[in-house]
Amino acid sequence: MSTSDVTKATRELFDRTLVDQVHMRTPVVEALMRNGQVTKSFKGGKYIEKLIDTDTIESLVQEYTNNSALTDAKKTTLEKPRFTWKYAQLPLRYDLDEYIQNADAGTEEQLLDLPSHLVSKAHKDLRLWQCAKIFNSGSTTGVADGATAFQSLVSALDVDVTYGTITRTASSNTADYWQGADPAGLWSGITAGTQATATNFTVSNVRKWVHESDIAHHMDGEDDLMVLCCPTLFNKMRAEMESKLIYKAGLKQSQGINSMLLDGGIEFVSVPYLQTTSTMKTWVFIINLRHWEWRMSSKRNFSQTGFVWQGDRSNGYDMWLARIMMCGNFFCWKPNSSMWLSNVS
């Protein structure tokens, strides 16, 4: 029998398992979900608002003697930050060729069910989109309140940027309570200079940023905190901490957290997304996770429409289209509890 006959009479040995070449861990999204801070039960409302108490009134206390006139004073301390709903959608489409040749095909013809794969892939990849939004898509300019995109860590923690409709101006001490924590120290008025100052990622500096900044005022304990950095900085810290660190135990899952603990509570998390640009590789975020929220409308909480044939529309096409719909925003109710350093090595 000739070689050509063997070639014609024998098909390839095909391994039907799918190898994912674009996988990336999204630990911050996972942490928010585990803490119940990806909220999906809210309905209606023109804006997303919450009352915050911005100051103390101990300065109104009067110490007095017999026959002294008692003072009378009051102080405005309430504010109401406002966030707008943001909208996004992911289109899912398969065309006539996929419909005829693949969808509902037999096991001999169909190596992979393309429509089902598309849906599964979309829901998984939306976590990558969420991760990019949380880190401002790598830009040093935060998404503004009125912009189209979802807001980010940078939106909340960048110096002197209006956030939640509250204007922040460090030079005049305007809304200092609403600025990110200053790495220079407690009660320091944050400036762009201190936030962007070149600094080293060391155990000593992390302890200073946590315990000698406004972060210390807002945490119940060190286990409130997550230090987010790229894998390069994570490994640098791991080398210094080798005799001190505790690795955090956790269940295995597809979007796993690679983390370690300092002083029994400060959690360091390696975020692969931060490794993808030279700019983000120098970023370090210290966040109090309790004060961050990814809020979704119950009507558009990653909900998917059914696949609808488009050919019955005027000038339509012979294809099927579905969409995953999102409505919400990512924001912080207490920026002073967290910190962003943009020039760390």
Q: What DSSP string runs through 268-305?
A: EEE-GGGGSSTTGGG-EEEEEGGGEEEEEEEEEEEEEP
User: What band does 256 get if pLDDT is binned at 50, 70 and 90?
Assistant: very low
Contact 194, 186 (CB under 8 A): no
More confident residue, 41 or 15: 41
User: What's residue 184's pLDDT?
Assistant: 81
What's the average model confidence in pLDDT over 200-206?
Answer: 94
Mean pLDDT of the 91-103 span: 89
Of 11 and 107, the structure prediction assigns the larger pLDDT to 107
Q: Which of 168-182, 210-224, 241-255, 278-292 has the highest mean pLDDT?
A: 278-292
- Residue 252: pLDDT above 90? no
Report helix, strand or coil for 38. Answer: strand
Q: Is the dihedral of CA 172, 178, 184, 186 positive or negative?
A: positive
Range with lowest mean pLDDT among 24-28, 263-267, 315-319: 24-28
Q: In what order do the strands lie in the sheet with 259-262?
A: 246-247, 259-262, 266-270, 225-229, 284-288, 339-341
Instruction: Provide mean pLDDT across the span 91-98.
Output: 92
- Cα–Cα dist 267/222, whole Å: 8
* Tokens 């008692």, located at residue: 70
Per-residue pLDDT at 227 exceeds 60:
yes
Region 317-332 average pLDDT: 94
Point out the least confidently predicted range of 145-149, 255-259, 301-305.
255-259
Give the Å distances, CA to CA, from 199 to 63, 102, 271, 283, 345. 45, 55, 20, 11, 6
Residue 39 bridge partners (DSSP): 295
pLDDT value, residue 199: 93
Residue 262, burial from CB neighbour count under 10 angstroms (0-12, 13-18, 19+): buried
User: What is the rounded distance in angstroms from the CA atom of residue 163 to the CA atom of residue 82?
Assistant: 8
State the pLDDT at residue 336: 93
The pair of three-digit structure tokens given for residue 247, joined into one six-digit string: 């690795």
Q: Over 70: is that where the pLDDT of 24 sits? A: no
Round to whole Å and give the CA distance between 252 and 257.
9
Query: Can you tell me the distance from the alpha carbon of 27 to that of 71, in angstroms, rounded to the nearest whole number?
Result: 53
340, pLDDT greater than 60: yes
Residue 9: pLDDT band (50, 70, 90) is low
Q: Is 215 strand, coil or helix? A: helix
Report in angstroms the alpha-carbon separations of 141 from 136, 156, 181, 193, 273: 8, 11, 18, 15, 17
pLDDT band for position 255 (cuts 50, 70, 90)? very low
Residue-wise pLDDT for 37-94, tens only, equals 888 777 778 889 999 999 999 999 999 999 999 999 999 999 999 999 999 999 999 9
Q: What is the pLDDT of residue 250?
A: 56
Does the pLDDT value for residue 187 go beyond 60? no
Would you say the C-alpha torsion 206, 212, 215, 219 has a positive or negative sign? positive
Kindly list the distances between the CA atom of residue 152 and the CA atoms of 66, 118, 193, 271, in Å, as whole numbers in the listed order.
Answer: 56, 28, 21, 15
What pLDDT score was predicted for residue 14?
A: 54
Instruction: Give me the residue label for tokens 């302890």.
Output: 207
Residue 254: band (very low, low, confident or very high) from pLDDT cuts 50, 70, 90 = very low
**pLDDT at residue 145, as a whole number:** 93
pLDDT of residue 209: 93
3-class secondary-structure state, position 333:
coil
Res 251: pLDDT: 44
Burial of 167: CB neighbours in 10 Å, binned 0-12, 13-18, 19+: exposed
Look at 70-79, 96-105, 316-325 and tell me which has the smallest mean pLDDT: 96-105
Q: 218 pLDDT exceeds 90?
A: no
Q: Which of 24, 22, 18 is nearest to 254 (CA)?
A: 24
Gap between the Cα atoms of 234 and 257, Å rounded: 12
Distance CA 3, CA 69 (A): 112
Alpha-carbon distance of 165 to 79, in angstroms, equals 11
To the nearest whole percent, how much of the chain has pLDDT over 70?
A: 86
What's the whole-number average pLDDT of the chain?
A: 86
Mean pLDDT for 127-155 is: 94
Give the integer Cα–Cα distance in Å for 164 and 51: 12
Distance CA 77, CA 19 (A): 56
Q: In which element (H, E) is residue 211 found?
A: helix 203-211
Least confident of 22-36, 136-150, 229-243: 22-36
